[in-house]
Amino acid sequence: MSTAASAIEPASPVPLLELRGISKEFPGVKALDDVCFAVFPGEVHMLLGENGAGKSSLMKVLFGAYRADAGEFYYKGEKVSITSTADAQKLGIAVIFQEFSLVPHLDIAQNIFFGREPMGRIPGTIDRRKILADARRVLDMIGFDIDPSTTVDKLGVAQQQMVEIAKAISQNARILVMDEPTAALSDRETELLFALIARLKADGVSIVYISHRMAEVFALGDRITVLRDGRRIDGVRPADVTPDQLVRMMVGRNVDMTYPRNFADKPGEMLLEVKGLASSTGISDINIEVRRGEIVGLCGLVGSGRSEVARAIFGADAITSGEIVFDGKPIIGEPDVAARRGIALIPESRKSEGLALLRSVGDNLVVSALRKLFPRGLFDQRSAQRTSDGLIRQLRIATPSARQTVGLLSGGNQQKVVIGKWLAAGSKLFIFDEPTRGIDIGAKSEIFALIDRLVAEGAAALMISSEQVEICHVCDRAYVMREGRIAGHLTRSELTEENIVRLGMHHA
Amino acid sequence: MTDITKGAIAPTRSFLSQDAIQVFYRLLAALLICAVLAVLSDSFLSLGNVLNVLRQASLTFFIASGLTLVVLTAGLDLSVGANVALSACIAGTVIHKTGSPALGILTGLACGGIVGLLNGVMVTALRIPSFIATYGMLWVLNGLTYWYMAGETLHGFPAGFRQIGSGYLFGLPIPVYLLLVFLGIGTLLAQRTIWGQEIYAIGANPVAARLSGIPVARRLLLVYAVSGTMAGLASIIFLSRLNSAEADIGESLTLPAIAAVLIGGTSLFGGVGTVFGTFIGALILTLVLNGMNLLAVSANWQPLVTGIIVILAVWLDMKTRRRAQ
């Protein structure tokens, strides 16, 4: 693996920065496994991989935000160490994150020189004239024609990105890492960004470019590195590969995993019909059908609008147009309406959205079923205890008792508690948003067995997952989302990882 | 399954029994204060003084009990004192104009409840943080009351009405009966209704509560309305006891009520606490002030002592809770 970096001949023999054998482990996850990565002067190096492949981890190691467990760094052939963001900055490495780090009410000049403002004659003041002149010079360098005394909150996304780049250039950045820089840009703005990248390249600045858009990879990239499961899969030149080959590299061969699933011969009656749904969060024209006895997948890249669809169906985000018909009747209102009608949401972030961490397992298990368990409104601790004890047995939740604080359970058991509260409520449609994130394999197959049992008994599930293997194994069919819309529908026979990735990628 | 069980995790108590322990410590503290005062002062244990302490504590408790529900949802109601003043002045006017105490009582309760509901609307529909919404409401209510009273004092109410605040039944002050009734109602509401359970859930994690199907906005409206209505009730007791109403009677009420809630073990972060704890909190606060009076300690020291007790109580709570986890 360590020799693979030199498999393709670079323009200049000595890389500006080279990472060798980088490994980084988090509890339970090997985020990076013996990864080699080299950046040559004046090149655009595309970094490709699925969600969770290790792109962000590698970026954070490069930037000194993570400290690698193993591995070496070489700058112009000399061994260096990057253990902090200050180290990275000294070597001229800067990152343009998707979430900008600008201060909205300060002006462009103050943002560019934030924390490095030229001091005025009176200590503690800023030399206004100098900071504006310096900012003007940096903005000229990247060809951004704007008054540096404009406050940042008046700027659009593309302009804010330019300010971020100006800030990096003012710190003498020689390696610019860009995390999906065109994700929020219009076509015209994208063109301007590409022009700027060409200009930076000509000045010898290297760009590490993380992208999910095939077209960009081929239009901009000098070299491509593909990551998968924390490993470097290959380094190639755009001329030597086809988009299909890249997709296969990103997805890899099917991992041998079997999930229990008893597919029904024929689907049951219609349970959920989503017609032309749009919400305030940017999803639009969503049409989804789920029948009893089905597990329907909802795939797409992170940020493609999957969770937003789930939240809109559950009433958590305001709907701007369209209709949701559940069990034959339209459904309008807040989550309490959806919950009472029989919809359950198992949210992506179970700690912040699914559980009251400081309350007991029992309290969390009955919270959605209070009205069902106590129709007269009078709460009885003993009866609640019986219900939660029953669920703890049924779901085999590993807890000393129902009185245990739920925050002390493992991820898998916490997830079972979130599912359990909807079992208690007698829900008919379970919307799972990344149900297996951060859960070990044992608990995973238990959760899938549970979902299978639920749908076999006449419930239905809509399952969001970035784990395409899981979608392919357990779903009857799947919708794939791209940029807030449904990009396609895959039947059981069409449901392959390649098809999911192909539909989910940006081809435009 | 053994891989997930992690025997290393010691079983912890749920917050219900955690609450019970907190209340137990507080009762112990209250008894300790009583014992100390009984030794130091001959008159402390006299029937008259004990009843006086209970009556004083009940006034704080009425306001603080409603406030407890608000604090359980991780909110705060800073307008309770100003609400008492406005409700008392309006109720007093109605009694003077109509001669009907019943009508006056209803107006006072309604006025308090409506103010609470408005607080609830600001917090839920307008999404203003409760601290700020009720702080603004405090000024609005003060302004209304001062404008309405224009420096006047309402004085002299029917003897029957005055019995509510100063009368006795079977040797106990009537406010003490009211205290027991509302302590019971508050405890039942919080512990024995699904509304109460939902209030705890909202305080523990409002986002998760909403995504668990709890009608969060409606429950918050309820909680602020209850807090306001309890302020309305307190206004009636005040009116009856003082036999007069002025615009400034509410100014010294809000902070002691908050102190009672905090001393009682309810967390400002929500989700933890009991109405009974607040009762003990009100009792401890009153006992200490009463003891200082009996021991002829200058009243100037009272705010300082109150502050120290609040800080001490919250600090001890945090310590025991951290140990429990």
* B41 is a domain residue: no
> If you average pLDDT over residues A327-337, what whole number do you get?
93
What is the ipTM, given to two decimal places?
Answer: 0.85
- Asked whether residue A373 carries a pLDDT value surpassing 70, the answer given is yes
The 10s digit of each residue's pLDDT in B24-53 is 888 999 999 999 999 988 888 888 889 989
CATH of the domain at B28: 1.10.3470
Residue ranges of B 120-149 with Cβ closer than 8 A to chain A: none
**Chains A, B: CB contacts under 8 A, how many?**
125
- B8 in A contact zone (CB under 8 Å): no
Q: What is the pLDDT of residue A155?
A: 87
Q: Domain of B160?
A: 16-33+46-319
**CB-CB under 8 Å, A402 with B194:** no
User: How would you list the strands of the sheet with A270-279, edge to edge?
Assistant: A286-291, A270-279, A319-326, A329-330
User: Residue A3: pLDDT above 70?
Assistant: no
Is B39 among the domain residues? Answer: no
Domains of chain A: 4-92+174-251 (3.40.50.300), 102-171 (no CATH), 254-342+428-508 (3.40.50.300), 356-426 (no CATH)
Chain A's closest residue to B14, CA to CA, is: A403
* Three-class DSSP category at A77: coil
CA nearest B214 in A: which residue? Answer: A336
Do the domain assignments include residue B124?
A: yes
Nearest residue to A356 via CA among A406, A401, A397: A406
Q: What per-residue confidence (pLDDT) applies to B47?
A: 87
Let me know: does A277 contact A286? Beta carbons within 8 Å.
yes
Each residue's pLDDT tens digit, A374-392: 999 999 999 999 999 999 9
HSE on the CB side for A373, CA within 13 Å? 26
Interchain contact B249–A (C-beta under 8 A): no
Query: Is the distance from CB of A213 to CB of A187 less than 8 angstroms?
Result: no
In a domain, B179, yes or no: yes
Q: How confident is the model at residue B14 (pLDDT cuts 50, 70, 90)?
A: very low
Residue with tokens 């040797």: B171
In a domain, B169, yes or no: yes
B211 touches chain A (CB under 8 A): yes
- CA–CA min distance A340, chain B (Å): 7
All residues at 6 or more sequence positions from B61 whose CB lies less than 8 Å from its CB, including other chains: B179, B182, B183, B260, B278, B279, B282
CB contacts of A425 in chain B (<8 Å) are: 213
CB proximity B269 to A under 8 Å: no
How close A311 comes to chain B (CA, Å)? 9
Å from A307 to nearest chain B CA? 13
Nearest residue of B to residue A334 by CA position?
A: B215
Chain B CB within 8 Å of residue A341 CB? no
**Contact across the interface for A442 and B16, Cβ inside 8 Å:** no
Q: Which of A173-187, A338-352, B178-192 has the lowest mean pLDDT?
A: A173-187
Q: Does A243 touch chain B (CB under 8 A)?
A: no
Contact A379 B5 (CB under 8 A): no
pLDDT of residue B9: 37
Say if residue B19's pLDDT is above 80: no
Query: Closest approach of chain B CAs to the CA of A205, in angstroms?
Result: 45
Tens digits of residue pLDDT in A65-100? 888 999 999 999 999 998 888 899 899 999 988 778
Please tell me the predicted confidence (pLDDT) of residue B250.
Answer: 85
* Beta-bridge partners for A20: A72
pLDDT at A440 over 70: no
Q: Describe the strand order of the beta sheet including A295-300 as a list of residue ranges.
A: A343-346, A429-433, A460-464, A295-300, A477-482, A485-490
CA atoms within 13 A on the CB side of A159: 15
pLDDT digits (tens, 9 = 90+) for A193-252: 899 999 999 989 999 999 877 888 898 999 999 998 888 988 889 899 988 888 888 877
* Nearest CA-CA partner of B117 in B266, B217, B235, B261: B217
Does the distance separating the beta carbons of A352 and B205 come in below 8 Å? yes
Q: Within a domain: residue B2? A: no
Find residue A464's DSSP bridge partners. A298, A433
Chain B's closest residue to A406, CA to CA, is B14
Q: Do A379 and B16 touch (CB under 8 A)?
A: no
Q: Which residue has the tokens 């969600």?
A: A51
Residue window 180-209, chain B: list those with CB within 8 Å of chain A.
191-198, 200-201, 204-205, 207-209
In a domain, B324, yes or no: no
- Within a 13 Å sphere around the CA of B2, how many CA atoms are in the beta-carbon half? 0
Total structural domains within chain B: 1
Residue A255: pLDDT band by 50, 70, 90 thresholds?
very low
* A378 → closest Cβ in B15, B192, B325: B192
Which of B15, B209, B211 minimises the CB distance to A345?
B211
Residue B155 within any structural domain of the chain: yes
Q: What percent of chain A has pLDDT over 90?
A: 51
CB within 8 Å: A358 and B16: no
DSSP code of residue B11: P
- Looking at the complex, does the CB of residue A278 fall below 8 Å from at least one CB of chain B? no
Q: Pick from A347, A355, A413: which is nearest to B4 by CB?
A: A413
- Say if the Cβ atoms of A367 and B212 lie within 8 Å: yes
Q: Is some CB atom of chain B closer than 8 A to the CB atom of A441?
A: no
Residue A465, C-beta contacts closer than 8 angstroms, at least 6 positions apart: A297, A299, A432, A434, A435, A436, A471
